[in-house]
Amino acid sequence: MKKVILLLVVAGAAAAAVAVALARGPAPQAGNASSHREAPLIAEDPSADNTDLYAFRSPDKPDTFTIVSNWIPGEDPAAGPNYYTFSPSARYNVYLDRNGDGKPDVTFRVRFKRNAGQFFLGDTAQPYTVTKIVGGKSSVVATGTTPPDNIGPRSTPNYHDLATKGIFPLGGGGSVFAGQRDDPFFGDIGAIFDLVAIRKGVGNAGGGKDFFAGYAVHTIALQLPIADYDTTSHVIGVWSSTDRQVVTVAQTKVKVKGKTRVRVAKKVVWQQVSRLGNPLINEAVIPTDKKDLWNRLSPATDKQFEQYYTSPILAAVINKLYNLGVKESDRSDLEAVLLTGLKQPNLNYTGPTLADELRLNLSIPPTAPHKVNRMGVLGGDLAGYPNGRRLEDDVIDITEQAVAGALIGTNIPLGDGVNADDKGYLSSFPYANDPNAGFDNTKGEPKP
């Protein structure tokens, strides 16, 4: 559900920009409703909004792999007095598909509690429980507490140490971290449709500005022993999602000792409202009228969306803008990379089932941090996107070049001019960096 604007910039050429989909970040509350209750209708539901998903072999612990799953787009560290938290009424899921059928074989499910009282300053530490579900059997594998949001040196001094205390062991092996992180995503979305912060002037000839610099997200990171999850093909599929409880108007009214009482259904019904596998699918691939549907479904049924992968809107947009003659239909190359994994070259193929998942080949060793190529596989670095996804991978440039035909022999140096995160990453788990403090925050874009 990440909302992002893709800014396409032809390197070296006169710049033009186009916005695709809605902006990521605090979009306007454009909802509207009935005459007197006025409940918002287009609530953005940021606490259920998956922003990004990463899966990679841990560079410092190569016998493990790491999944970093992010929620809550565009957290402004200086947004007090109301600080960000996971929703206590939602269910946060990370799924592993070990046999390529698009269905979960292992589920990590995280539920957060609200700390007592309202969210006063500094009271954003949330207790949580991690449940692991395998074959219908669930067991609690960790309980932990998130570090509080990074408010500033007075409320949250020594933040890095504080955050490090937020790493907890997973029963059966591995570690978990949950809490606020610097948004590892980078990209220039300060374009014409930018709903968050408006760049002065349009057209960005290279030298793009990282819109996400300074903003934070909420992260659930898992580090897992490869030996426990490896498969015969060595490829696992990963996706994340958020569920919310379904409540309906009618409750059963029953008479108890002559008094009418309402019987509340004991069994909670959950509905998935957001999901994320490969980056930019919800924003750049799935059309507006299908977004709700797509977000409700699991990857196993993604065949129904096939046409949007083989005839991507983005290709048409690129042609309209630059007249590059990009192939607009029959894009089996994109379908393969996003829905089945790559067979040729043999990278991360999981079988014929079309399913939007990050596919990580656990047998490919991690690239040493100083040798990482931000273009991943397109740059000859097989340990990066679309083989899983590392924090360093420049998915906007990779996606634009792939859509332009990089996998079918057409190399066009599209890109957004932002090649790395401003803050860098940690060298060990959870890798995603500490968030900026609200106290001294400098963001990529000042709000006008």
Q: Which residues bind another protein (CB under 8 A)?
A: 22, 26, 28-48, 72, 75, 79, 81-82, 84-90, 114, 118-120, 192-198, 202, 244-251, 253, 262, 264, 271, 273, 288-293, 296, 447-448
- Residue number with CB closer to another protein (300 or 313): 313
Side-chain half-sphere CA neighbours of 53 within 13 A: 32
- Phi-psi sector, 380: left (phi>0), alpha (psi -120 to 50), beta: left
- Residue number with CB closer to another protein (87 or 175): 87
Least distance CB 45 / another protein (angstroms) = 5
Q: Can you tell me which residue has the tokens 């057409």?
A: 410
Least distance CB 195 / another protein (angstroms) = 6
Side-chain half-sphere CA neighbours of 197 within 13 A: 20
- Residue number with CB closer to another protein (134 or 202): 202
- Residue number with CB closer to another protein (146 or 348): 146
- Residue number with CB closer to another protein (242 or 387): 242
Least distance CB 325 / another protein (angstroms) = 22
Least distance CB 13 / another protein (angstroms) = 18
d(CA 359, CA 97): 9
d(CA 95, CA 298): 10
Least distance CB 421 / another protein (angstroms) = 22
Least distance CB 344 / another protein (angstroms) = 35
Q: Give the tokens for residue 285.
A: 């691939």
DSSP state of 404: H
Least distance CB 306 / another protein (angstroms) = 17
Least distance CB 291 / another protein (angstroms) = 8
Least distance CB 179 / another protein (angstroms) = 14
- Residue number with CB closer to another protein (30 or 140): 30
Query: Where does 205-312 have alpha helices with state H?
Result: 226-229, 281-284, 291-296, 306-310
- Residue number with CB closer to another protein (64 or 93): 93
CA 191 to chain centre: 21
CA distances from 242 to 11, 55, 92, 196, 296 (A): 37, 18, 5, 24, 9
- Residue number with CB closer to another protein (63 or 289): 289
- Residue number with CB closer to another protein (213 or 398): 213
Q: Respond yes or no on whether the N-terminal peptide bond of residue 366 is cis (omega within 30° of 0).
A: no
d(CA 296, CA 432): 28
- Residue number with CB closer to another protein (119 or 439): 119
Q: Give the tokens for residue 149.
A: 């949001």
- How many CB atoms are closer than 10 A to CB 301? 16
Strand partners, 330: none
Least distance CB 156 / another protein (angstroms) = 18
Measured at the CA of 266, the angle between CA 265 and CA 269, to 5 degrees, comes to 75
- Angle between the 313-322 and 395-404 helix axes, to the nearest 10 degrees? 80
Least distance CB 418 / another protein (angstroms) = 20
d(CA 166, CA 176): 8
CA distances from 206 to 169, 183, 415 (A): 44, 22, 8
DSSP state of 81: T
- Residue number with CB closer to another protein (84 or 429): 84
Which H or E element spans position 289? Answer: none
Query: Where does 169-296 have alpha helices with state H?
Result: 226-229, 281-284, 291-296
Least distance CB 226 / another protein (angstroms) = 34
Q: Respond yes or no on whether the N-terminal peptide bond of residue 287 is cis (omega within 30° of 0).
A: no
- Residue number with CB closer to another protein (89 or 410): 89
